[in-house]
Amino acid sequence: MDRIRIVGGNELNGAIPISGAKNAALPLMIASLLTDDTLTLENVPHLADVEQLIRILGNHGVDYAVNGRRERQNEGYSRTINFTARNIVDTTAPYELVSKMRASFWVIGPLLARMGVAKVSLPGGCAIGTRPVDIFIEGLQALGAQIDVEGGYAIASAKNRLIGNRYHFPKVSVGATHVLMMSATLARGETVLLNAAREPEVVNLAECLNAMGAKIEGAGTSTITIQGVDSLSGARHRVIPDRIETGTYAMAVAMTGGDVLLEGARADLLQNAFDVIAQTGAVITQTDSGVRVTRNGQGIAPVDVVTEPFPGFPTDLQAQFMALMTMSRGKSRITETIFENRFMHVQELARLGARIALSGQTAIVDGVPKLKGAQVMATDLRASVSLVIAGLAAEGETVVNRVYHLDRGFERLEEKLSRCGAVIERISS
């Protein structure tokens, strides 16, 4: 099993290209199930989750071509992939595929909308909370689907097409918003989604669906209206830059000091997080070619944050921000409101010398003057990169184990950081 070795203490200086957003690419890929034409997606990141979803879509009969060739390897950071679901050969998403990645459950919506039936295993993914699929099932039932859960599978049918309806999400859910929005594009009549997720990835998906012939209004607000159509066509669409990767590298610079241009990044996709990072002492500037992050080494100011749905502070940056606060000049409070079990990185940061106390869903971080390298274990995707950020600033050597989590969401992380002066390498077992 691969590990990442870091020798901390170097500032970061240079440029880091920001990849396409995983959280946007996955629903866009799944949207290919809605049409028998080709959907061409630009700026698709090369990640383990993307490759896994390609396998899942292939199981349903979706063909793909990377930059015009049916192959997986590409030297660049950005890929163009053609997805063609001309013939759906199987409407079952089996446990052995879905259990490896939670987002693969989302195929239930497009399969149901286009084929009228779907049998999808209940999902797996990061162990950061229960994240039940009740909202997905309830929402599809509101559109007229018949759904039973048997033997670990959601078995769904809508023999006479889904039917438009009003549905109020009991809580904001990005995944459920993706699924119901995709499903409603082929439903009969009008669907209105209330308390919908407002994330940029939802907007990116709506723009793609509209390019395919859907009629969606309101994406990016809490009320989304969809007029169902009989069929969708193919389209060409670009995946937005990854705001979580952008925020992660911005925090790395804020922690180590230095001057880094995040190429292709867009500040508008995570303005709240940038405002918070700026309060710690970093300077963030939008330029024509990306976002520039600098810090002059004067020390890190403590800042309190509460995770919230967009446009609030993202839960996917909570672990990284905690790593940054471990070396702040004082105490900070970090409150997690999205997932109930997303503090598993606390004990690993403590191995590096961090002082963190937990009180319910709040972590109180008492900054220390220095961290010291150690062996640490990644517990989930975002927690794993928080350990990398801490290791970049720690004295001596840090080894992060179980880095397959990183490969799910960060494209060539060690290569990007080493280009900016970090001493970091992958060690293959």
Concatenate the DSSP letters of all residues of 184-251 into one string: HTTSBSEEEEES----HHHHHHHHHHHHTT-EEE-BTBSEEEEE--S----EEEEPPB-HHHHHHHHH
Return the top range by mean pLDDT from 99-113, 192-206, 378-392: 192-206
Q: Are residues 176 and 266 in the same domain?
A: no
Q: Are residues 139 and 264 in the same domain?
A: no
Q: Are residues 44 and 67 in the same domain?
A: yes
Q: With 0.75 as the threshold, say if the pTM is over it.
A: yes
Q: Are residues 179 and 271 in the same domain?
A: no
Q: Are residues 126 and 229 in the same domain?
A: yes
Q: Are residues 234 and 245 in the same domain?
A: no
- The tens digit of pLDDT for each residue in 178-221 reads 999 999 999 999 999 999 999 999 999 999 999 999 999 999 99
- Residue ending a domain, choose from 217, 238, 259: 238
Active-site residue (options: 4, 12, 26, 126): 126
Q: What is the DSSP letter of 320?
A: H
Give the model's pLDDT for residue 76: 55
Q: Are residues 266 and 131 in the same domain?
A: no
Least confident of 182-191, 216-225, 275-284, 373-382: 373-382
- The tens digit of pLDDT for each residue in 43-73 reads 999 999 999 999 999 999 999 999 754 444 4
- The tens digit of pLDDT for each residue in 294-317 reads 997 779 999 999 999 999 999 999
- The structural domain count of the chain equals 2
Q: Are residues 106 and 250 in the same domain?
A: no
| Of the candidates 29, 47, 45, the residue with the CA atom closest to the CA atom of residue 84 | 29
- Residue ending a domain, choose from 211, 238, 265: 238
Confidence of residue 415 (pLDDT cuts 50, 70, 90): very high
Confidence of residue 126 (pLDDT cuts 50, 70, 90): very low
Give the model's pLDDT for residue 127: 40
Q: Are residues 385 and 415 in the same domain?
A: yes
Rounded CA-CA distance 317/325 in Å is 12
Point out the annotated binding site. 22-23, 102, 171-174, 316, 338
Point out the annotated binding site for UDP-N-acetyl-alpha-D-glucosamine. 102, 171-174, 316, 338
Place of tokens 């900016």: 420
| pLDDT at residue 100 is higher than 90 | no
Here the CATH number for the domain that contains residue 339 is 3.65.10.10
Q: Are residues 377 and 396 in the same domain?
A: yes
Q: Is 208 a catalytic residue?
A: no
Q: Are residues 26 and 84 in the same domain?
A: yes
Q: Are residues 144 and 170 in the same domain?
A: yes
What average pLDDT does this structure show over 90-117? 94
Which residue range is the domain that position 246 belongs to? Answer: 3-18+241-427
Q: What is the DSSP letter of 9?
A: -
- Residue ending a domain, choose from 205, 238, 271: 238
Point out the annotated binding site for phosphoenolpyruvate. 22-23
